[in-house]
């Protein structure tokens, strides 16, 4: 498993299938454990991720770590983290369809090798990539989806992106942060049952 992921990582590092390889500093392949029950798919690397070659290392990543820690989960022990695309889009714009398509083979290989029991789809871009047009994140978050064969029967849950939570500071009942707290507890409950 480690070797297979290493092979894909190396292939991805020298990929030239879309123009993003020309402007990136580092390919951002993954972080966390390679044999977990839980995988998180984010959107795309930002500035900090591009500089360090690791996903979710900026402010949003720190918040994500806190969210996991609130239910006793860490990326060192429990989670594999990656993104829909592996190179940073200029100015952090959303990935283009052709960039997502070019990068799909790497994400699919990560899913195929790891075969997690739960996949968290973090934000609209990840939801769209795996589930298609099921609706916006505020409608679909917190619900379990069966992803079928393409994800080897994993349970899928869309969740808010931590960047969105950073822009919405309220913790009141019904606020995005409050909803995320509900979702992560539900995720931990199902995680323990699998
Ligand atoms: N946002 C993402 O979606 N992924 C990262 O790796 C960092 C920020």
Structure tokens at 143: 């619900």
The finding on whether 46 has its CB within 6 A of some atom of ligand 1 is yes
Alpha-carbon Rg of the chain, whole angstroms? 16
d(C-alpha 22, C-alpha 79), whole Å: 30
Of the two residues 101 and 35, the one the predictor is more confident about is 101
- Which pLDDT score is estimated for 33? 95
Q: Using one digit for the tens of pLDDT, what is the confidence trace for 58-71?
A: 999 999 999 999 99
The finding on whether 43 has its CB within 6 A of some atom of ligand 1 is yes
- Which pLDDT score is estimated for 3? 84
Domain ranges of the chain: 2-193
Indicate the top mutation candidate among 32, 83, 128 to test ligand 1's pocket, ranked by most ligand atoms within 8 A of CB.
Answer: 83
- Give me ligand 1 centre to Cα 115, in Å: 21
Q: Which of 38, 37, 43, 78 has the alpha carbon at shortest distance from 58?
A: 43
When the pLDDT of each residue in the chain is averaged and rounded to a whole number, the result is 97
155 phi/psi in degrees, rounded to 5: -85, 135
The finding on whether 55 has its CB within 6 A of some atom of ligand 1 is yes
| Beta carbons within 8 Å of 11's beta carbon, 6+ residues apart | 106
Q: Fold for domain 2-193?
A: Uracil-DNA Glycosylase, subunit E (3.40.470)
Predicted structure pTM score: 0.97
The finding on whether 32 has its CB within 6 A of some atom of ligand 1 is no
Residue 83 has pLDDT above 90, yes or no: yes
Q: Which residues pair with 122 in a beta bridge?
A: 159
d(C-alpha 175, C-alpha 170), whole Å: 6
- Confidence band for 99, pLDDT divided at 50, 70 and 90: very high
- Confidence band for 151, pLDDT divided at 50, 70 and 90: very high
Whether the Cβ atoms of residue 42 and residue 30 lie closer than 8 Å to each other: no
Q: Which residue has the tokens 């298609």?
A: 132
Q: Which of 182, 168, 159 has the alpha carbon at shortest distance from 39?
A: 159
- Which pLDDT score is estimated for 182? 98
- Give me ligand 1 centre to Cα 44, in Å: 5
Whether the Cβ atoms of residue 172 and residue 69 lie closer than 8 Å to each other: no
């Amino acid at each position: 498993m480690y070797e297979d992921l290493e092979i894909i990582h190396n292939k991805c590092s020298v990929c030239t299938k879309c123009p993003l390889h020309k402007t990136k500093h580092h390919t951002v392949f993954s972080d966390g454990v390679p044999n977990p029950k839980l995988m998180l798919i984010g959107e795309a690397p930002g500035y900090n991720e591009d500089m360090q070659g690791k996903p979710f290392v900026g402010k949003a990543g720190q918040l994500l770590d806190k969210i996991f820690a609130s239910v006793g989960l860490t990326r060192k022990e429990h989670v594999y983290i990656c993104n829909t695309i592996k190179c940073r889009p200029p100015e952090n714009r959303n990935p283009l369809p052709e960039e997502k398509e070019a990068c799909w083979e790497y994400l699919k290989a990560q899913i195929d090798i790891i075969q997690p029991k739960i996949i968290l789809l973090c934000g609209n871009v990840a939801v769209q990539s795996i589930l298609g047009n099921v609706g916006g994140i505020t409608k679909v978050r917190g619900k379990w989806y069966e992803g079928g064969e393409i994800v080897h029967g994993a349970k899928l849950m869309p969740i808010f992106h931590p960047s969105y939570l950073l822009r919405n500071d309220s913790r009141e009942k019904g606020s995005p942060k409050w909803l995320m707290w509900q979702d992560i507890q539900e995720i931990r409950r199902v995680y323990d049952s699998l």
